[in-house]
Chains A and B, each alone.
Chain A
């Protein structure tokens, strides 16, 4: 089973709203990732968690706040977003951060900020 699940599938939010994206995997993976993908562009790394600790933050604005409550769950809290933050948000997981550890993506959340 190489399934990563994400909820919701679609989200429309105003610039003053607070919302959260959720990601879950039950593969025993210890590394989890958030990516942002705009149309016709490759995925852009936002955050990496390794063993439930934040390992990489790619200088993401503070209006995006990640959280890793346990080894299976990864959240992305959203607050005061801008219209340019509209994108496909992808969660991924891998065994760990060692070389060769394959990343598996969830189906993504399509976010629209109005």
Chain B
């Protein structure tokens, strides 16, 4: 059974601080890793993807992948109130479907 685990939160972070979101996955055959942001009542929006071990930075977002420990994380620097949303971790297996975690609710405190 392929599983993707996330802490449901809510995770409360002061404005301007770093928000750290974590995700673990069960299957070592995982190939690709995605972070989606979803505002209440809206559809998921792809914000980061990572395939290789290490860090990948895009603006205020950094995705970190550690395949040996089977975790992927998302760091949001200089958190803004507009970052308040649910963040979905998604894991893709070769030639197969994406498995979504249940999401972490992030709340940025003004």
Contacts and interface: CB of A to CB of B under 8 A. Distances in A.
Interface of A: 41-43, 45, 48, 56, 88, 90, 97-108
A39 B96 CA distance: 25
B92 interface: yes
B102 A42 contact: yes
28 contacts: A41-B102, A42-B103, A43-B100, A45-B97, A48-B97, A56-B97, A90-B43, A97-B96, A98-B95, A99-B31, A99-B51, A99-B92, A99-B93, A100-B31, A100-B32, A100-B49, A101-B32, A101-B92, A102-B34, A102-B46, A103-B34, A103-B46, A103-B98, A105-B36, A105-B43, A105-B45, A107-B42, A108-B42
Q: Interface on chain A toward B: helix, strand, loop, or mixed SS?
A: loop
Given A43-B88, A99-B51, 7 more contacts: A42-B102, A48-B97, A90-B44, A97-B95, A97-B96, A99-B32, A107-B42
A43 B97 CA distance: 12
Interface string B64-106: 0000000000000000000000001010111111101111000
Interface residues of B, number: 24
B51 A100 contact: yes
Nearest to B86: A40
A105 B45 CA distance: 7
Contacts of B94: 98-99
Contacts, number: 52
Q: Interface on chain B toward A: helix, strand, loop, or mixed SS?
A: strand
The 6 closest A-B pairs by CB, nearest first: A99-B31, A42-B100, A105-B43, A100-B32, A108-B43, A99-B94
A99 B95 contact: yes
A100 B33 CA distance: 8
Nearest to A97: B95
B39 to A, nearest CB: 11
B105 to A, nearest CB: 9
A94 B36 CA distance: 15
Contact of B43 (A98, A99, A106): A106
